[in-house]
Chains A and B, each alone.
Chain A
Amino acid sequence: MILSDVLRSRVLDDEGRSVGIVIDARFVLDGVPHGPLADARLVGFIVSPHTGSSFLGYERHDDGRPALIARVLRWHHRGSFLVHWEDIARLDETRVILRPGYRRISPALLGAQRR
Protein backbone atom coordinates (compact mmCIF):
# COMPACT_ATOMS: atom_id res chain seq x y z
CA MET A 1 0.00 0.00 0.00
CA ILE A 2 1.27 3.47 -0.89
CA LEU A 3 0.73 5.94 1.95
CA SER A 4 -0.58 8.74 -0.28
CA ASP A 5 -3.53 6.49 -1.19
CA VAL A 6 -4.80 7.12 2.35
CA LEU A 7 -3.66 10.68 3.09
CA ARG A 8 -6.44 13.20 2.51
CA SER A 9 -9.08 10.46 2.57
CA ARG A 10 -12.42 11.26 4.14
CA VAL A 11 -12.92 9.54 7.51
CA LEU A 12 -16.36 8.19 8.33
CA ASP A 13 -17.66 6.67 11.55
CA ASP A 14 -19.57 3.39 11.57
CA GLU A 15 -22.84 5.21 10.86
CA GLY A 16 -21.43 6.92 7.77
CA ARG A 17 -21.02 10.35 9.36
CA SER A 18 -17.96 12.32 8.32
CA VAL A 19 -15.58 12.99 11.20
CA GLY A 20 -12.72 14.58 9.23
CA ILE A 21 -9.86 14.00 6.81
CA VAL A 22 -6.64 12.00 7.21
CA ILE A 23 -3.83 14.56 7.48
CA ASP A 24 -1.00 12.30 8.63
CA ALA A 25 0.03 8.80 9.65
CA ARG A 26 1.88 8.06 12.89
CA PHE A 27 4.54 5.35 13.08
CA VAL A 28 6.62 4.14 16.00
CA LEU A 29 9.93 2.30 15.77
CA ASP A 30 9.11 -0.62 18.02
CA GLY A 31 8.78 -3.51 15.56
CA VAL A 32 11.18 -6.30 14.74
CA PRO A 33 14.72 -4.96 14.14
CA HIS A 34 15.69 -5.22 10.46
CA GLY A 35 19.00 -3.56 9.81
CA PRO A 36 20.01 -0.59 11.99
CA LEU A 37 16.41 0.43 12.79
CA ALA A 38 13.41 -1.44 14.10
CA ASP A 39 10.37 -1.80 11.87
CA ALA A 40 8.22 1.34 11.78
CA ARG A 41 4.78 0.15 12.87
CA LEU A 42 1.70 2.16 11.94
CA VAL A 43 0.11 3.45 15.15
CA GLY A 44 -2.78 5.12 13.40
CA PHE A 45 -3.95 8.12 11.44
CA ILE A 46 -4.21 11.75 12.50
CA VAL A 47 -7.58 13.16 11.51
CA SER A 48 -8.49 16.82 11.19
CA PRO A 49 -12.18 17.77 11.26
CA HIS A 50 -11.60 20.93 9.24
CA THR A 51 -8.90 20.51 6.61
CA GLY A 52 -6.89 17.99 4.62
CA SER A 53 -3.71 20.03 4.78
CA SER A 54 -0.86 19.56 7.21
CA PHE A 55 1.82 22.15 7.81
CA LEU A 56 4.49 22.25 10.54
CA GLY A 57 2.40 20.22 12.99
CA TYR A 58 1.45 23.05 15.34
CA GLU A 59 -1.59 21.04 16.45
CA ARG A 60 0.79 18.33 17.74
CA HIS A 61 3.19 20.39 19.86
CA ASP A 62 3.04 23.46 22.05
CA ASP A 63 5.56 25.67 20.24
CA GLY A 64 4.14 29.18 20.11
CA ARG A 65 6.53 30.92 17.75
CA PRO A 66 5.99 32.69 15.45
CA ALA A 67 2.91 33.58 17.48
CA LEU A 68 0.64 34.60 14.60
CA ILE A 69 1.41 31.53 12.49
CA ALA A 70 1.11 29.23 15.50
CA ARG A 71 -2.30 30.60 16.45
CA VAL A 72 -3.67 30.49 12.92
CA LEU A 73 -2.46 26.94 12.22
CA ARG A 74 -3.55 25.63 15.63
CA TRP A 75 -6.99 27.10 15.08
CA HIS A 76 -7.10 25.65 11.57
CA HIS A 77 -6.47 22.15 12.97
CA ARG A 78 -8.64 22.46 16.09
CA GLY A 79 -10.28 19.18 17.08
CA SER A 80 -7.62 17.01 15.38
CA PHE A 81 -7.28 13.54 16.86
CA LEU A 82 -5.34 10.29 16.51
CA VAL A 83 -7.29 7.16 15.67
CA HIS A 84 -5.58 3.81 16.22
CA TRP A 85 -5.05 1.22 13.51
CA GLU A 86 -7.14 -1.19 15.61
CA ASP A 87 -10.12 1.16 15.16
CA ILE A 88 -9.94 1.13 11.35
CA ALA A 89 -12.66 -1.06 9.86
CA ARG A 90 -12.00 -0.45 6.17
CA LEU A 91 -9.67 1.44 3.85
CA ASP A 92 -10.46 2.27 0.28
CA GLU A 93 -9.35 4.82 -2.30
CA THR A 94 -11.35 7.77 -1.01
CA ARG A 95 -12.37 7.01 2.52
CA VAL A 96 -11.48 5.42 5.82
CA ILE A 97 -14.26 3.81 7.85
CA LEU A 98 -13.94 3.49 11.63
CA ARG A 99 -15.20 0.74 13.91
CA PRO A 100 -18.06 1.34 16.36
CA GLY A 101 -16.79 2.86 19.60
CA TYR A 102 -13.51 4.08 18.09
CA ARG A 103 -11.28 6.17 20.37
CA ARG A 104 -10.25 9.76 19.76
CA ILE A 105 -6.78 10.29 21.20
CA SER A 106 -4.87 13.54 21.48
CA PRO A 107 -2.33 13.73 18.61
CA ALA A 108 0.16 15.65 20.79
CA LEU A 109 3.81 14.65 20.62
CA LEU A 110 5.22 14.42 24.13
CA GLY A 111 8.72 15.44 25.18
CA ALA A 112 11.38 13.61 23.18
CA GLN A 113 8.81 12.57 20.56
CA ARG A 114 8.99 16.11 19.16
CA ARG A 115 11.76 17.07 16.80
Chain B
Amino acid sequence: MTRRSKRFDAPLPVLEPAEQYAGQVLDARLHLLDRQVLDRDGVPVQVVDDLELSDVPFGESIPSETPAPVIESILSGPVLGTRIFGGRPPSSRFHRVSWDRIAEIGIAIHLGVAGSTLDVTWVERWVRDRIISRIPGGHHDPE
Protein backbone atom coordinates (compact mmCIF):
# COMPACT_ATOMS: atom_id res chain seq x y z
CA MET B 1 0.00 0.00 0.00
CA THR B 2 1.38 3.42 -0.91
CA ARG B 3 1.80 6.29 1.55
CA ARG B 4 -0.98 8.27 -0.10
CA SER B 5 -3.44 5.40 -0.01
CA LYS B 6 -2.72 4.92 3.70
CA ARG B 7 -3.68 8.52 4.41
CA PHE B 8 -6.82 8.47 2.31
CA ASP B 9 -7.72 4.81 2.31
CA ALA B 10 -11.52 5.00 1.95
CA PRO B 11 -12.88 3.88 -1.43
CA LEU B 12 -14.08 6.73 -3.69
CA PRO B 13 -17.69 6.13 -4.78
CA VAL B 14 -19.26 7.99 -7.70
CA LEU B 15 -20.55 11.46 -6.72
CA GLU B 16 -24.24 12.26 -6.69
CA PRO B 17 -25.26 15.06 -9.10
CA ALA B 18 -24.84 18.68 -8.08
CA GLU B 19 -27.81 20.31 -6.36
CA GLN B 20 -29.91 23.31 -7.34
CA TYR B 21 -30.84 25.62 -4.47
CA ALA B 22 -33.72 28.05 -4.09
CA GLY B 23 -31.59 30.85 -2.64
CA GLN B 24 -28.23 32.44 -3.40
CA VAL B 25 -25.36 30.03 -2.80
CA LEU B 26 -22.29 31.20 -0.91
CA ASP B 27 -19.16 29.12 -0.57
CA ALA B 28 -17.35 30.72 2.36
CA ARG B 29 -13.84 30.83 0.94
CA LEU B 30 -14.97 31.48 -2.61
CA HIS B 31 -17.60 34.18 -2.02
CA LEU B 32 -17.13 35.66 1.48
CA LEU B 33 -13.73 35.39 3.11
CA ASP B 34 -11.26 38.18 2.27
CA ARG B 35 -13.97 40.16 0.45
CA GLN B 36 -14.09 43.92 0.92
CA VAL B 37 -16.97 45.22 3.04
CA LEU B 38 -18.42 48.61 2.06
CA ASP B 39 -20.80 50.68 4.14
CA ARG B 40 -24.01 52.23 2.76
CA ASP B 41 -22.01 55.11 1.26
CA GLY B 42 -19.56 52.80 -0.49
CA VAL B 43 -16.75 53.49 1.98
CA PRO B 44 -14.50 50.49 2.74
CA VAL B 45 -14.78 49.50 6.40
CA GLN B 46 -13.18 46.06 6.70
CA VAL B 47 -12.53 42.75 5.01
CA VAL B 48 -14.12 39.47 6.02
CA ASP B 49 -11.54 37.53 8.03
CA ASP B 50 -13.83 34.88 9.43
CA LEU B 51 -17.47 33.95 10.03
CA GLU B 52 -19.32 33.28 13.26
CA LEU B 53 -22.01 30.61 13.10
CA SER B 54 -24.88 29.93 15.47
CA ASP B 55 -24.08 27.44 18.19
CA VAL B 56 -23.90 23.76 17.38
CA PRO B 57 -22.65 20.88 19.53
CA PHE B 58 -18.84 21.05 19.35
CA GLY B 59 -16.67 18.23 20.66
CA GLU B 60 -19.68 15.97 21.20
CA SER B 61 -22.08 13.94 19.09
CA ILE B 62 -24.55 15.94 17.01
CA PRO B 63 -28.14 14.62 17.25
CA SER B 64 -29.48 13.78 13.80
CA GLU B 65 -32.32 16.33 13.95
CA THR B 66 -30.05 19.27 14.89
CA PRO B 67 -30.90 22.22 12.62
CA ALA B 68 -28.08 23.51 10.44
CA PRO B 69 -26.22 26.53 11.83
CA VAL B 70 -26.59 29.93 10.20
CA ILE B 71 -24.11 32.79 9.84
CA GLU B 72 -24.58 35.22 12.74
CA SER B 73 -21.77 37.69 12.05
CA ILE B 74 -18.92 38.49 9.74
CA LEU B 75 -15.69 38.96 11.65
CA SER B 76 -12.66 41.15 11.22
CA GLY B 77 -9.56 40.91 13.35
CA PRO B 78 -5.79 40.51 13.63
CA VAL B 79 -5.41 37.37 11.51
CA LEU B 80 -2.11 38.03 9.73
CA GLY B 81 -0.02 36.16 12.25
CA THR B 82 -2.38 33.24 12.60
CA ARG B 83 -2.63 32.84 8.84
CA ILE B 84 1.13 32.49 8.67
CA PHE B 85 1.70 30.40 11.77
CA GLY B 86 -1.68 28.67 12.14
CA GLY B 87 -4.57 28.86 14.58
CA ARG B 88 -6.84 31.86 14.94
CA PRO B 89 -7.06 34.89 17.25
CA PRO B 90 -9.18 34.56 20.41
CA SER B 91 -12.86 35.10 19.73
CA SER B 92 -12.80 38.28 21.85
CA ARG B 93 -10.29 39.95 19.46
CA PHE B 94 -12.69 39.91 16.51
CA HIS B 95 -14.92 42.81 15.54
CA ARG B 96 -18.37 41.61 14.58
CA VAL B 97 -20.86 42.90 12.05
CA SER B 98 -24.21 41.22 12.45
CA TRP B 99 -25.57 39.37 9.40
CA ASP B 100 -28.77 41.44 9.46
CA ARG B 101 -26.74 44.57 8.60
CA ILE B 102 -25.66 43.17 5.24
CA ALA B 103 -27.66 44.56 2.34
CA GLU B 104 -26.11 42.81 -0.65
CA ILE B 105 -23.42 40.27 -1.45
CA GLY B 106 -21.62 40.56 -4.75
CA ILE B 107 -18.00 41.18 -5.68
CA ALA B 108 -17.94 43.20 -2.47
CA ILE B 109 -20.21 42.96 0.56
CA HIS B 110 -22.47 45.98 0.98
CA LEU B 111 -23.80 47.02 4.38
CA GLY B 112 -27.02 48.88 4.97
CA VAL B 113 -25.51 51.06 7.71
CA ALA B 114 -22.89 53.80 7.97
CA GLY B 115 -19.38 52.61 8.80
CA SER B 116 -19.11 55.18 11.60
CA THR B 117 -21.67 53.18 13.61
CA LEU B 118 -19.50 50.04 13.61
CA ASP B 119 -17.00 49.02 16.28
CA VAL B 120 -14.55 47.93 13.60
CA THR B 121 -13.84 51.54 12.60
CA TRP B 122 -12.98 52.80 16.12
CA VAL B 123 -9.26 53.13 15.36
CA GLU B 124 -9.99 55.33 12.36
CA ARG B 125 -12.35 57.50 14.41
CA TRP B 126 -9.84 57.74 17.28
CA VAL B 127 -7.04 58.85 14.93
CA ARG B 128 -9.34 61.41 13.29
CA ASP B 129 -10.59 62.89 16.57
CA ARG B 130 -7.38 62.79 18.62
CA ILE B 131 -4.64 63.36 16.05
CA ILE B 132 -5.85 64.63 12.69
CA SER B 133 -8.22 67.19 14.19
CA ARG B 134 -5.33 68.81 16.16
CA ILE B 135 -3.31 69.44 13.02
CA PRO B 136 -3.94 72.95 11.61
CA GLY B 137 -6.42 72.56 8.78
CA GLY B 138 -7.40 69.11 9.99
CA HIS B 139 -11.05 70.04 10.50
CA HIS B 140 -11.99 70.38 6.85
CA ASP B 141 -11.51 68.70 3.48
CA PRO B 142 -8.46 69.71 1.41
CA GLU B 143 -9.15 72.63 -0.91
By a beta-carbon cutoff of 8 Å, the part of chain A in contact with chain B is 1-5, 7, 13, 17-20, 23-31, 34-43, 46, 49-50, 54, 56-57, 60, 79, 81-82, 85-86, 88-93, 99, 103-110, 113, 115
**Shortest distance in angstroms between A35's beta carbon and chain B's nearest beta carbon?**
3
Q: Are B26 and A57 in contact (CB under 8 A)?
A: no
Q: How far is the CA of A115 from the CA of B104 in the complex (A)?
A: 14
Q: Are B59 and A3 in contact (CB under 8 A)?
A: no
Q: How far is the CA of A104 from the CA of B12 in the complex (A)?
A: 9
Quick one: given A28-B21, A108-B18, are A18 and B27 in contact (CB under 8 Å)? no
- What are 24 A-to-B residue pairs whose CB atoms are below 8 Å? A1-B55, A4-B50, A5-B58, A18-B7, A25-B28, A26-B27, A27-B25, A34-B100, A35-B100, A35-B112, A38-B23, A40-B99, A57-B29, A60-B27, A60-B30, A79-B12, A85-B69, A104-B15, A105-B16, A106-B15, A107-B18, A108-B18, A113-B24, A115-B107
Quick one: given A42-B70, A79-B12, A91-B58, are A106 and B25 in contact (CB under 8 Å)? no
Interface string of B1-44 (1 = CB under 8 A from A): 00000011110110111111111111111110000000000000
Quick one: given A90-B62, A91-B57, A109-B27, are A30 and B12 in contact (CB under 8 Å)? no
Instruction: Name, among A3, A35, A109, the residue most crowded by chain B CB atoms within 10 Å (CB to CB).
Output: A3
Size class of the B contact interface (CB-based, 8 Å): 35 or more
Q: Are B50 and A41 in contact (CB under 8 A)?
A: no
Q: How far is the CA of A37 from the CA of B8 in the complex (A)?
A: 39
Question: Which residues on B sit within 8 Å (CB–CB) of A110?
Answer: 18-20
Q: How far is the CA of A30 from the CA of B81 in the complex (A)?
A: 35
By a beta-carbon cutoff of 8 Å, the part of chain B in contact with chain A is 7-10, 12-13, 15-31, 50-62, 64, 68-71, 75, 88, 91, 94, 99-107, 112
- Give the interface SS of chain B, mostly helix, strand, loop or mixed: loop
Question: Which residues on B sit within 8 Å (CB–CB) of A99?
Answer: 64
Q: How far is the CA of A32 from the CA of B61 in the complex (A)?
A: 26
Question: Which residues on B sit within 8 Å (CB–CB) of A30?
Answer: 21-23
Q: Are A3 and B23 in contact (CB under 8 A)?
A: no
Q: How far is the CA of A35 from the CA of B75 in the complex (A)?
A: 18
